[in-house]
Amino acid sequence: MYSLVRPILFQMDAEKAHELSLKALKWIPKICFKHSLAQPVSAMGLDFPHPVGLAAGLDKNGEYLDALSKIGFSFIEIGTVTPRAQQGNPKPRLFRLPKARAIINRMGFNNQGVDALIANVKKAKYQGILGINIGKNKETSLTRAAEDYLYCLKKVYAFASYITINVSSPNTPDLRLLQQDKFFADLLGQLCDEQQRLSQEFKRWVPLVVKISPDESDETLKQIADIVVQKKLSGIIATNTTCSREAVSQFPYGTEQGGLSGKPLRSRSTECLRLLKERVGNEVSLIGVGGIDDYASAQEKLKAGASLLQVYTGLIYEGPRLIHSLLSP
């Protein structure tokens, strides 16, 4: 069915098409979707029905949890959410590159704020594994960034199965500097201390994971891995979008500013996974994301060390059938 409507959606503005697709999904019966195969995975202290989940970014405010649960994801990650609502960057800010099977976005953490997200989560009937991705507001300085992350952590802790610390979006000025040693260790230290306190308050342990950039040097990735192990985080998501345009500059929209996702990201994100796996061993769970759009690319990520997978751009191009195809050749 998606193959029939995709040409129509791809004639529309990309952001409007995404919104329309999510709204339409609410009205499609669950029986219309192919059930995912059972391939149980344990990671981060959680038990997943199979490895394939939804990456953050598609449902920023948790408005479509029940609709997205019909498709068969093993877990859903919502956000990125910030303490206060913000509009994000000016439109247009989302661009499809069909010939490259890629997307460029410069959304800029557009969201309704953490209180609105929590209200949506409370209303949802979804009972599956829920990741909540947290970030900082654009106007918050790097020296005060920890305050925003701590605020969101406290707000979402009671509602999340795991919480992702997003320090790697290219669309918030200087955000990626938080991956540098002087900021990174301090930020994670403060968040882990608060995690300990919250675990006692709520009598439940919610794993923390960090989402990293593919554009860091291998040496920086090793430093990130070492700090993650030292601070005893539960996971690393590898990777966020890339600023590289090496593979797409010849295509329409290929030089637009923002983060590039999809097939051109596949190789580098897998390289990052391999490097991280060598560094962290079995102490930290790895979640692979970037260019996963068929069984071969899913297996590539798993063999590189990922326990779990996340998709976004592949879903835009393949539709709901993607999940089943990632699990079965």
**What are 109-124's pLDDT values in tens digits?**
999 999 999 999 999 9
Residue 272 predicted with pLDDT over 70: yes
Residue 175 and residue 128: Cα distance in Å, rounded?
A: 30
Does residue 83 have a pLDDT over 80?
Answer: yes
Q: What's the pLDDT at 36? A: 67
Q: Which of 35-49, 154-168, 247-261 has the lowest mean pLDDT?
A: 35-49
In 257-323, DSSP assigns E strands to 259-262, 285-289, 308-311
Percent of the chain with pLDDT over 90: 94
Q: What is the pTM of this model?
A: 0.97
Binding site annotation covers 270?
no
For residue 197, what pLDDT is reported? 99
**Residue 110 · residue 257 · CB < 8 Å:** no
Q: pLDDT band at 28, cuts 50/70/90?
A: confident
Residue 268: per-residue pLDDT: 99
Burial class (CB in 10 A: 0-12, 13-18, 19+), 11: exposed
Average pLDDT over residues 85-105: 98
- Please write the tens of the pLDDT for every residue from 287-312: 999 999 999 999 999 999 999 999 99
Cα–Cα distance between 275 and 233 in angstroms, integer? 17
Q: Residue 211 annotated as binding?
A: yes
Q: What is the pLDDT of residues 194-212, one digit of tens each?
A: 999 999 999 999 999 999 9
166 among annotated binding-site residues: yes
- Catalytically active residues, by annotation: 169
Task: Please check if 61 is assigned to a binding site.
Answer: no
Q: Is 89 annotated as a binding residue?
A: no
Q: What average pLDDT does the segment 130-155 reach?
A: 98
The set of residues, in sequence order, having a beta carbon less than 8 Å from that of 158 and lying 6+ positions away, is 202
* Domain extent at residue 120: 2-327
More confident site: 35 or 176: 176
Residue 34 in this model has a pLDDT that exceeds 80: no
Range in 3-12, 26-35, 249-258, 264-273 with the lowest mean pLDDT: 26-35
CATH code at position 294 = 3.20.20.70
Number of domains in the chain: 1
59 is in an annotated binding site: yes
Confirm or deny that 184 is annotated as ligand binding. no
Please state the φ and ψ torsions of residue 191, each to the nearest 5 degrees: -70, -40
Find out whether 171 is annotated in a ligand binding site: yes
Residues 6+ apart with CB under 8 A from 139: none
Mean pLDDT of the chain: 97
Region of poorest pLDDT, from 27-36, 57-66, 98-107, 184-193: 27-36
